[in-house]
Amino acid sequence: MKMGNYSPVTEFILVGLSKYPELQFFLFMLCLIMYVIILLGNSLLITISILDSRLHTPMYFFLGNLSFLDICYTSSFIPPMLIIFRSETKSISFIGCALQMVISLGLGCTECVLLAVMAYDRYVAICNPLRYPIIMNKVLYVHMAAWSWIIGHLTSLLQTVMTMIMPFCGNNVIDHLTSHLAVVILFYGSALFTYMKPKSKDTNTSDEIIGLFYGVVAPMLNPIIYSLRNKEVKEAMIKVLKRHQHLLKS
């Protein structure tokens, strides 16, 4: 390690895709539109699963958790990212970085555990259909969802503390951009590509594009995958819309 005099880092400069100024406004509008779609799509899925009693099952309970998780996850970094896109000063404080890290990591880890829990729920439904209501009782699936959140955030807190207690000196410029099987492939596939590909100086831009896909596109597609291809959700959606239309007329 090269020795020298370094000042403690108090903030980080976020470079990201700012080296392409001509793309800044396009990326701002693209992320804003996708964020609105994420909020509307996932909120609609949560509302439908609550209002229709036929959807009060473990599968839709987990889907509601996943939708709420996607709203929280994207809300933890897309609004700050939009501000950075339109800001002259593209930086984040040390404390702000730690807070961003613990929230984003916690929600990301929670989604990893929740997707595994949802896979187990489908396994029981397919392999033990007669015993499914007994095995996946309300106490069990509520505990499974709760422990998904607890494990995810405890893991995040541990990782963040271990990272932030290390000394940060020197360069503080970061090149960074803040059906169930299909969702798993999107979520884990982009993550595995990011962490397992060979390191190269020429891959920073691809890292940022994959990061954008991982954090924005996947949560936007979740409600589409789980609702538009699901007969029960579509029927419940039509039922709720008809009820709302009837109330407006009366």
Measured between alpha carbons, how far apart are the two ends of the chain, in Å?
75
Q: How far apart are CA 21 and CA 195, in angstroms?
A: 27
pLDDT the model gives residue 68: 92
pLDDT the model gives residue 117: 92
pTM given for the model: 0.70
pLDDT the model gives residue 150: 94
pLDDT by 10s per residue, the chain, length 250: 445 455 566 777 766 655 666 777 887 888 788 888 888 888 988 888 888 888 888 988 998 898 898 888 888 878 887 887 777 777 777 788 788 888 888 888 898 899 889 889 989 999 999 999 999 999 999 999 999 999 999 988 888 888 778 776 656 665 555 644 444 445 545 555 554 555 555 455 555 565 565 556 667 766 666 665 566 667 776 776 777 666 666 6
pLDDT the model gives residue 183: 47
Closest CA to 156 of 97, 112, 106: 106
pLDDT the model gives residue 230: 64
pLDDT the model gives residue 249: 67
Residue 16 falls in which region: left (phi positive, over 0), alpha (psi -120 to 50) or beta: left
SS3 category, 91: strand
Domain 11-249 has CATH 1.20.1070.10: yes
Residue 247 burial class via C-beta count within 10 angstroms: exposed 0-12, middle 13-18, buried 19 and up: exposed
